[in-house]
């Protein structure tokens, strides 16, 4: 541990140590790519910080026959490299290696992308939502595992005391894709994101990020695609369905107005569907 007159840094060597520091009010530091920009947003850096880089297990990515486990401290670059050639993980790879730029991807962590508050443009969140990922948290009461949607709903309350430790992916997705629209004036951040995943039973999941304050599934479009699965072979038809079932209220921001975020969604749906690995269309 090192300490100066203004700020205290504690490097945790196990999850229990990190949880104890969190209970004492320390802010969690993973890759640090968001926290280090706090001064640019007019915010001060926290007085007490617990660093997770000293916990080796949290950087591990385990690939098994029926599941993939991703440590929350694994970087975007490490995640993309680990699952690059696995069928069904195409959308996860695209999200991990398309976010920000290479220097950030080598540092920014999976857990940091999920846990950063008030950051609607996180690429991995809609990709994991579409995939059906489960989030594992260490809490003072023990281990808690939640679906992505439930985690996002309770995120602010949970992260007051808990730590995201791992992500769990079942190997039942047969194809996935991820499409994002960056604008020059938005810097590294996309103004809209669409992630799509299809599982072995033919269920289709679509998630949207950066359009509203929080990423969410596009349930009405999922239902429409399930009724008309032939649209998976014809991306323009999928885009038409997206226009028919638009139910988003876009957020205004300095990089794009809300109406524009919604307007580009059908085009991103078309791109994501076109990027899906070829599937047999179910009648």
pLDDT in tens, 92-128: 999 999 887 777 888 889 998 998 888 899 999 999 9
State pLDDT tens for residues 24-34.
888 877 756 66
* Range 150-155 average pLDDT: 95
State pLDDT tens for residues 41-52.
666 777 788 888
Q: Does domain 2-170 have CATH number 3.30.465.10?
A: yes
pLDDT value at 136 more than 60: yes
Q: Give bridge partners of residue 209 from the DSSP assignment.
A: 193
- What pLDDT was estimated at residue 269? 98
| Residues in contact with 6: Cβ distance below 8 Å, sequence separation at least 6, in sequence order | 47
The proportion of the chain whose per-residue pLDDT surpasses 90, expressed as a percent, equals 66
* Range 217-223 average pLDDT: 98
Report the candidate in 172, 170, 177, 171 with the shortest Cα–Cα distance to residue 94: 177
pLDDT value at 180 more than 50: yes
The domain 173-275 belongs to what CATH superfamily? CO dehydrogenase flavoprotein, C-terminal domain (3.30.390.50)
Q: What is the distance between the alpha carbons of residues 182 and 129, in angstroms, rounded to a whole number?
A: 20
Q: What are the boundaries of each domain within the chain? A: 2-170, 173-275
Q: What is the distance between the alpha carbons of residues 230 and 273, in angstroms, rounded to a whole number?
A: 11
Cβ contact 224:244 at 8 Å = yes
User: Of the ranges 45-49, 60-64, 139-143, 189-193, which one carries the lowest mean pLDDT score?
Assistant: 45-49
Q: What is the distance between the alpha carbons of residues 152 and 173, in angstroms, rounded to a whole number?
A: 21
Residue 185's pLDDT band (cuts 50, 70, 90): low
Pairing of strands 173-182, 2-3: unpaired
Q: Give bridge partners of residue 70 from the DSSP assignment.
A: 61, 167
Mean pLDDT, rounded, of the chain: 89
Q: Give bridge partners of residue 145 from the DSSP assignment.
A: 136
Q: Tokens for 46, please give them.
A: 């926290």
- What pLDDT was estimated at residue 32? 62
Between 29 and 212, residue with greater pLDDT: 212
DSSP secondary-structure letter at 171?
T
Using the structure block, give the residue that is written with the tokens 């660093």: 51
Burial letters 160-171, b for 16+ CB under 10 A, else e? eebbbbbbebeb
Q: What is the distance between the alpha carbons of residues 35 and 46, in angstroms, rounded to a whole number?
A: 9
- What pLDDT was estimated at residue 34? 61
Q: Give bridge partners of residue 166 from the DSSP assignment.
A: 71, 136
Helix (H, G, I), strand (E, B) or coil at 3: strand
Burial letters 16-34, b for 16+ CB under 10 A, else e? eebbebbeeebebbbbebb
- What pLDDT was estimated at residue 5? 45
Q: Is it true that 2-170 and 173-275 share their CATH fold? A: no
* Range 212-227 average pLDDT: 97
- What pLDDT was estimated at residue 11? 84
- What pLDDT was estimated at residue 119? 85
Q: What is the distance between the alpha carbons of residues 164 and 159, in angstroms, rounded to a whole number?
A: 8
Give pTM, 2 decimals. Answer: 0.89
């Amino acid at each position: 541990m090192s300490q100066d007159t203004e700020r205290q840094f504690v490097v945790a060597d196990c999850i229990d140590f990190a949880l104890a520091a969190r209970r004492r009010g320390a802010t969690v530091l993973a890759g640090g790519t968001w926290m280090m920009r706090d001064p640019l947003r007019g915010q001060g850096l926290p007085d007490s910080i617990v660093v997770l880089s000293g916990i080796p297990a949290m950087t591990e990515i385990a690939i098994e026959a029926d599941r993939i486990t991703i440590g929350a401290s694994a970087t975007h670059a490490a995640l993309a490299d680990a699952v690059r050639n696995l069928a069904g993980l195409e959308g996860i790879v695209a999200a991990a290696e398309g976010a920000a730029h290479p220097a950030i991807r080598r540092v920014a962590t999976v857990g940091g992308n999920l846990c950063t508050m008030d950051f609607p443009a996180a690429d991995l969140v809609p990709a994991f939502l579409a995939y059906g990922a489960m989030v594992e948290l260490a809490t003072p009461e023990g281990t808690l595992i939640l679906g992505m949607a439930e985690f996002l709903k309770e995120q602010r309350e949970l992260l007051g005391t808990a730590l995201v430790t791992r992500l769990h992916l079942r190997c039942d997705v047969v194809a996935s894709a991820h499409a994002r629209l960056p604008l020059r004036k938005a810097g590294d951040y996309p103004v809209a994101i669409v992630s799509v995943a299809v599982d072995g039973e033919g269920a289709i999941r679509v998630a949207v990020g950066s359009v509203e304050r929080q990423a969410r599934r596009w349930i009405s479009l999922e239902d429409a695609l399930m009724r008309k699965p032939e649209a998976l072979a014809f991306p323009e038809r999928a885009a038409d369905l997206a226009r028919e079932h638009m139910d988003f209220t876009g957020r205004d921001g300095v990089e794009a107005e809300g109406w524009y975020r919604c307007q580009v969604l059908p085009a991103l749906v078309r791109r994501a569907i076109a990027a899906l690995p070829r599937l047999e269309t179910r009648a």
